[in-house]
Amino acid sequence: MNPTAEPSRRPEWAEDVHRVLTANRVRQVAYVPDAGIARLIVLCGEDPAMVSVSLTSEEEGVALLAGAALGGDRGVLLMQSSGIGNCINMLSLARTCEFPVLMIAAMRGGDGEFNPWQVPMGQAAADALKLMGARVFTVDDPAAAGAIVDAAARTAFETETPAAVLLSQGMIGAKTFEH
């Protein structure tokens, strides 16, 4: 099986999340590619009501969403859990100025992980976000993804705070290198 060709056990969760982002008037979509959110990135990229911004590193996305919020746009940052570590200091911007930063991260380093190099950041991701004052939501059931992203989006945009949704490996499937 090639995981990049079949990134999710339940691809329809990506459609649910895209609908929720639309309903929350999300326009700017910043991302660093990941297999687990590949379908969602494509859906947002094909949406004429959204502007996708490909990043070289995830902290760029935190700064981008601060600027977006300053100008009245809503946005989301899509990434892999390793990218959460790259965001940490830049989250100071979101906290100090109370900017909404909605993040959706595909988790690595959890149950079934084959790559030990993914484990330290993956295991620390939720706590690291909380230490920086972000609200953290976790999705284990693909059928709940839409509702949980909606709750996180409302939290981020209505209370102007960073909020992260972590998509567990139980939900998106642990990546393997089997071909």
Partner 1 sequence: MTADTGRQRRETYSLRRREVARKLVANRDGLLVVSGLGQPTWDVTAAGDHPLTFPLWGAMGGAAMVGLGLALARPEHRVLVITGDGEMLMGLGALATLARAGPRNLAVAVLDNESYGETGMQESHTAGATDLAAMARAAGIAAATTVAEEKDVAAAVTRLRRDDGPVFVDFKVRAETLPLVMPPKDGGVLKHRFRQALATAMEYVKD
46 binds partner 1 (CB under 8 A): no
70 binds partner 1 (CB under 8 A): yes
Size of the site for partner 1 (CB under 8 A): 32
Closer of 51 and 144 to partner 1 (Cβ): 51
Using CA atoms, how far apart are residues 157 and 101, in angstroms rounded to an integer? 8
62: left (phi over 0), alpha (psi -120 to 50) or beta: alpha
Report, in Å, the least distance between residue 6 CB and partner 1.
27
Report, in Å, the least distance between residue 161 CB and partner 1.
12
Bridge-based pairing state of the strands 162-167 and 51-54: unpaired
60 binds partner 1 (CB under 8 A): yes
Q: Which of residues 120-139 bind partner 1 (CB under 8 A)?
A: none
Beta strands in the chain (DSSP E): 26-31, 51-54, 74-80, 101-106, 135-139, 162-167
Report, in Å, the least distance between residue 37 CB and partner 1.
18
Q: Which of residues 20-39 bind partner 1 (CB under 8 A)?
A: 27-28
Structure tokens at 79: 């990434």
73 binds partner 1 (CB under 8 A): yes
48 binds partner 1 (CB under 8 A): no
Using CA atoms, how far apart are residues 81 and 42, in angstroms rounded to an integer? 19
- For residue 91, give the H/E element and its range: helix 91-97
Q: Which of residues 79-108 bind partner 1 (CB under 8 A)?
A: 89-90, 92-93, 96-99
Report, in Å, the least distance between residue 75 CB and partner 1.
7
Using CA atoms, how far apart are residues 108 and 116, in angstroms rounded to an integer? 10
54 binds partner 1 (CB under 8 A): yes
Q: What is the DSSP string of 49-83?
A: T-EEEE-SSHHHHHHHHHHHHHTT-EEEEEEETHH
Residues at the site binding partner 1, with contacts judged by CB under 8 A: 27-28, 51, 53-57, 59-73, 75, 89-90, 92-93, 96-99
